[in-house]
Amino acid sequence: MTKKTISLMLAVTLMGFVALLNPARGDNQEKDEDRLRNAGQVIKEILNIPDDIPQGLIDKADCVVVIPSVLKAAFIVGGSYGRGAMTCRSGDNMEGPWGAPTMMALEGGSFGFQIGAQATDFVLLIMNRDGAGSILSSKVKLGADASAAAGPKGRDAEADTDVAMRAEVLTYSRARGLFAGISLEGSTLRPDDDANERIYGKKLPSKDIALHGAVPVPPAARMLTATLNQHSPKNLSK
What pLDDT digit, counting tens, does each position of 10-21 carry?
343 434 433 444
> What's the pLDDT tens digit per position in 78-115?
445 789 999 999 988 899 999 999 999 998 755 544 44
Which of residues 27 and 178 earns the better pLDDT score? Answer: 178
Residues 165-187 pLDDT 10s: 688 999 999 987 889 998 888 88
At residue 219, the pLDDT reads 97
Q: Give pTM, 2 decimals.
A: 0.83
Residue-level pLDDT at 109: 57
Q: Residue 160 — left, alpha, or beta (φ > 0 → left; ψ -120 to 50 → alpha)?
A: alpha
Mean pLDDT of 136-153: 91
Q: Tell which residue, 191, 149, 174, 150, has the closest CA to residue 70.
A: 174
Percentage of the chain modeled with pLDDT above 90:
56
Question: Phi and psi dihedrals of 86, rounded to 5?
Answer: -125, 125
197: left (phi over 0), alpha (psi -120 to 50) or beta: alpha
Alpha-carbon gap, residue 227 to 78, rounded angstroms: 33
Average pLDDT (190-213) is 93
Q: Is 33's pLDDT higher than 60?
A: yes
| The pLDDT value given to residue 121 | 92
CA dist., res. 13 & res. 4, Å (int): 14
Q: Output the furthest CA–CA distance in the chain (Å, rounded).
A: 80
Radius of gyration for the chain, computed over Cα atoms and rounded to the nearest angstrom:
20
Higher pLDDT, 62 or 237: 62
